[in-house]
Amino acid sequence: MSLQPIDELLPKLQEIIKLFQSVQEPKAKYEQLLFYGKNLKPLDSEFKTRGNKVEGCVSQVWVRAYLDFEKNVVLEADSYSVLTKGLAALLVQGLSSQPIVKEKGSRG
């Protein structure tokens, strides 16, 4: 498995990666991750369902995905762990509001 080059990633993900790459101290990177978690909008309790729960995580984490009016994918997430919530926030900020893209060779 090879990693995708950063310049092929979504612009929001590129920004997040560059931000973390610019931080030299591991503790500062950790604090940045906690900052993301503390600033993630809480998921409404009605969406903290078994179907949205990420199985296999030590911490409880929920991820909700839906399409907005423009057919863009929107992600929402939450966790009781601030660190896990920070990781979820990276996904939410980096991947939300993106149009659905068909894989090469897929039909539909």
In this prediction, residue 103 has a pLDDT band, given cuts at 50, 70 and 90, of low
Q: pLDDT value at position 38?
A: 96
Tens of pLDDT, residue by residue over 34-44, are 999 999 999 99
CATH class given for the domain over 7-99:
alpha beta
Q: Where are the beta strands (DSSP E) in the chain?
A: 61-67, 72-79, 98-99
- Determine the pLDDT at residue 8: 85
Q: How far apart are CA 89 and CA 38, in angstroms?
A: 9
Give the C-alpha separation, 4 to 8, whole Å.
7
**How far is the C-alpha of 96 from the C-alpha of 40, rounded, in Å?**
13
Q: What is the mean pLDDT of residues 65-94?
A: 95
Looking at the annotation, which residues are catalytic?
57
Q: What does the pLDDT read at residue 1?
A: 64
- Looking at residues 52-60, what average pLDDT do you find? 95
All structural domains of the chain with their residue ranges: 7-99
CB–CB of 91/9 below 8 Å?
no
